[in-house]
Structure 1
Amino acid sequence: MPEPQPITEKRGLRGRIASGLSDPVLRALVTATAVSRIGRGVFLTITVLFFTRIIGLSAAQAAIVLAVSSGFGVVASFLGGWLADRWSARRLTFAFEALGGMLLAAYAFAGDFVSALVLASLSGFFDSIGHSARAAIIARGFVAERRVHARAVLRTVTNVSIAVGSGVAAIALALGTPEAYRAVILAAGLFCALGSLPLLRLTSAVDAPARANGPVRTATGSIDTEAVAARSDWRRRSPWRDRRYLLLCVLSAVFGMQFGVAELGVPLWITTQTNAPTVMVSVVLITNTVLVVLFQVRASRGTHDVRTAGRVTMIAGWLMAAACLVYALAAGLPAWAAIVMLLVAMIAHTFAEILSQAGAWGLSFELADPVRAGAYQGVFGMGFSLGALASPLVVNATAIAHGLAGWGMLALIFLTAAAGIWLIARRAARASARPASA
């Protein structure tokens, strides 16, 4: 593993990101992320419109395509980590992300529901499997205090790149022709594939440990008992046997539904239940993106410590509960008052997102068995994918269906999930302190 570089303090966003780029592993990951997420930003912006306006799918068919794609992503999340424990994580990440980019480029040639469904399912599968393998790289490629910092830097780069991709997608939206949509999609998919190339420069230290797939026979052909014992022990270290980690995954998935609130609940609430202008949908989402870019790296400091990670998650729970209630109170107010309330709610929501992500990253790394880093990160990613899959249903059944009472239910759900994570972190910190004191 390369020697970790100290995290030096530099002012400004560029300085905070640049301070970590002396590390060759992080530098390669940042380059790959910056390139590939620009392409993803294009797809996030125009995919639904491409399905409905260009291919001619109904709204229901488009929803089915996206839902099935998310379902494939759930399965792929664990599979990517599982494979990264057995083979080269860097080669797997490169292969899957390159293939995912080529599949996204193939969207340009989709012409009906079946082709769109197949391409969306395959691209979602390979994107998720590559993301889990990349999480295994982070778990192995950095020491404890650097892992969360790396995730925070990558998330900041992701948000900036997606914003750039959204700007590129505006070309297709402005022209509005099928040729423009297909040309932009083709270019974006190829850009995603090119983003995988820097991953080949990663050190072999980020690959699976040798004991995961080492030989079980000696040079003479006899059974190597030490290798057999190591492999048996490696298999027993499955995340599915770790009840504490599984509970952490469940609670983190529940809290992760806050992304569904931002992507589905808030736009619907603004347009159907408040007097705020429709443009506020864009304003609050831009506010969210800007705040994440500015504060994610800074807010993630120290969350490699289990107790600190639990504490910031609890703060995130209170902020998210407050945001839900303020969103609810925006209904029925005059336009100017609704605008103020929505902005206040989104600011609280965004800092809840920033802190909860920092806490989740720290706990997902520190409470995992380092021998099975890939499998643990795969299970954590699968839980998050399940939460993302369930969030539209939950948000619609609570806030959208029941108004103030529904927002209150959401607030209670988020606060309960945060409290559960805080308790897990607190007990884990106490448990680790006992051997040290002894």
Structure 2
Amino acid sequence: MTSPRPDPDPIEASKPGLIGRLRASLSDPVLRALVTATAVSRIGRGVFFAVTVLFFTQIIGLSPAQAAVVLAVSSGCGVIASFLGGWLADRWSARRLAFGFEVCGGLLLASYAFVGDFVSALVLASLSGFFDSLGYSSRSAIIARGFASERRVHARAVLRTVTNLSIAAGSGLGAVALALGTPEAYRTVIAVAGILGALGSLPLLRLTSAVDAPARTPVTGQLTPTGSIDTEAATAALAERRDWSRRSPWRDPRYLLLSVLSAVFGMQFGVAEFGVPLWITQNTNAPEVMVAVLLIVNTTLVVLFQVRASRGTHDLATAGRVTMVAGWLMVAACLIYALAAGLPAWAAIVILIAGMIAHTFAEILSQAGAWGLSFELADPVRAGAYQGVFGMGFSLGALASPIVVNATAITFGLAGWAMLAAIFLAAAIGIWAIARRAATSAAASAPTTATA
């Protein structure tokens, strides 16, 4: 493990307001490099998110079903890459891997500008999703090793705030193509988005080797000064390698269960991105523009509150409690959304905004709790693999969420929303139970450790 990074200057940290808090956070060189890289690359992603579906359907000429297949396959490739990225980051330089993956992802994104049919779109989407997830897992390994325990969740919160701001800015650039509506405009902004994504990887080169995994002792090549094989050193290296293998996240049932439950709760992103827009257009009298309004509400609240809501969630008990609160807020959000059906337009608008506010705070708190638990319950020796498994769980949740949301809320209305609420509450209770038990075990072992 590396030495913890210094905390921001307390005077600077006490400055009020979002800008003051972010400026204080950037006194850390690791976080500064990650924020710079994220800000640039996510602007590119924001452009892409804004124009993707319409580019596929209106410019390339794909059917909605074909566009859905392209996006689903891209998500599926991301599931595999999430674990692979962390696994690789335990064996090679995480900063160099992240840089290489981000460059490849950006160039693949720019290549969308030359897509002309379903097959080429499918291939590029698969590769782009694969490298984007590889880069994300490598960055997670950097965060796990580059910060002290109490600073990791804060770093995640800052990066998520910057991500939302950058995606919003990128969406504004994407609106230029939407307004012009020409193939040339679409292809130009997509090429620009890809180039920004590739350029966003450059600040990662400023990171030092302190964020990389410690080098493992090779089993072979252990020689004495006389040139003979040092059997004792070779045996020690082999024992180290076996211990390293035993620390695999796949042998940690508690962490695997945490990853599964977090993936289930992570389906709340699918509710916002897939379920709510369909619910508004098919089951309420609210205007379709409410989809954009709710997105603005969500983004604004995340930017304003994610960092402060994440304070203290490196503590296991605190992480469990905020997740439980998030579970009840998600229950409230599901039921509030359901109430919007059949109401007059003005009432539906008020109800939907109230639902999104509850939903967004559930998102903010659940993310804070998930980050804290994913870092604190991981074995630091295999930080990359553990973060890869956790990221893979979220990718699986994202892949399954449209199917689950459609099979519940969209199909059965109020009863379906109640089913979703029960699913989220059950996941939150499970995560809370894991956190509580882990906190109790840690507290019980603390006196023994101190005595020793």
TM range, smaller chain: over 0.9
Match in the other structure for 2:189:
184
Superposition map of 1:248-263 within 5 A = 248-263=258-273
User: Which residue of the other structure, out of 322, 327, 348, is the alignment partner of 2:332?
Assistant: 322
Match in the other structure for 1:63:
68
- For structure 2, list consecutive stretches of 5 or more residues without a partner in the other structure: none
TM-score, normalisation: structure 2: 0.95
Question: C-alpha distance in 1, partners of 2:113/2:3?
Answer: 41
CA drift of 1:209 comes to 1.6
CA drift of 1:217 comes to 2.8
Provide closer, same or farther for how the CA distance between residues 345 and 41 of structure 1 changes in structure 2, counting only shifts above 3 A: same
Return the letter of the residue paired with 2:279.
Answer: W
Find the residue that maps to 1:392 and give its secondary structure.
helix
Superposition map of 1:154-303 within 5 A = 154-211=159-216, 214-219=218-223, 220=227, 221-223=229-231, 224-303=234-313
Contact 1:216/1:225 (CA < 8 Å) preserved in 2?
Answer: no
CA drift of 1:201 comes to 0.5
Match in the other structure for 2:87:
82
Match in the other structure for 2:5:
4
Contact 1:249/1:380 (CA < 8 Å) preserved in 2?
Answer: yes
Question: C-alpha distance in 2, partners of 1:281/1:115?
Answer: 30
Return the letter of the residue paired with 1:218.
Answer: Q
Percent of pairs identical after alignment? 78
Return the letter of the residue paired with 1:33.
Answer: T
The Cα offsets for residues 77-116 of structure 1, whole Å up to 9 and x where unpaired, read as 0000000000000000000010000000000001111100
Question: C-alpha distance in 1, partners of 2:292/2:3?
Answer: 42
CA drift of 1:334 comes to 1.2
Match in the other structure for 2:385:
375
The Cα offsets for residues 223-252 of structure 1, whole Å up to 9 and x where unpaired, read as 522211111100110000000000000000
Task: Pick which of 274-283 and 361-370 moved more.
Answer: 274-283
Q: Is 2:353 aligned against 1:343? A: yes
Contact 2:7/2:28 (CA < 8 Å) preserved in 1?
Answer: no
Return the letter of the residue paired with 2:443.
Answer: A
Aligned CA RMSD, in angstroms, stands at 1.0
The Cα offsets for residues 127-172 of structure 1, whole Å up to 9 and x where unpaired, read as 0011001000000000000000000000000000000000000111
User: Which residue of the other structure, out of 399, 402, 405, is the alignment partner of 2:409?
Assistant: 399
Task: Pick which of 124-133 and 5-14 moved more.
Answer: 5-14
TM-score, normalisation: structure 1: 0.98
Q: Is 2:108 aligned against 1:108? A: no
CA drift of 1:335 comes to 1.2
Question: C-alpha distance in 2, partners of 1:232/1:90?
Answer: 26
The Cα offsets for residues 175-199 of structure 1, whole Å up to 9 and x where unpaired, read as 1111111111111101100000000
CA drift of 1:2 comes to 5.9
CA drift of 1:276 comes to 1.0
Q: Is 2:24 aligned against 1:19? A: yes
The Cα offsets for residues 11-69 of structure 1, whole Å up to 9 and x where unpaired, read as 11111111111110000000000000000001111011111111111111111100111
CA drift of 1:10 comes to 2.3
Question: C-alpha distance in 2, partners of 1:367/1:13?
Answer: 30
Question: C-alpha distance in 2, partners of 1:98/1:215?
Answer: 33
Contact 1:295/1:354 (CA < 8 Å) preserved in 2?
Answer: yes
Find the residue that maps to 2:25 and give its secondary structure.
coil
User: Which residue of the other structure, out of 408, 416, 424, is the alignment partner of 1:414?
Assistant: 424
Match in the other structure for 2:58:
53
Q: Is 2:337 aligned against 1:332? A: no
Aligned length: 437
Q: Is 2:397 aligned against 1:387? A: yes
Match in the other structure for 1:429:
439
Question: C-alpha distance in 2, partners of 1:281/1:171?
Answer: 19
- For structure 1, list consecutive stretches of 5 or more residues without a partner in the other structure: none
Question: C-alpha distance in 1, partners of 2:124/2:306?
Answer: 33
Match in the other structure for 1:136:
141
Superposition map of 1:34-53 within 5 A = 34-53=39-58
Return the letter of the residue paired with 1:385.
Answer: S
CA drift of 1:278 comes to 1.2
Return the letter of the residue paired with 1:398.
Answer: T
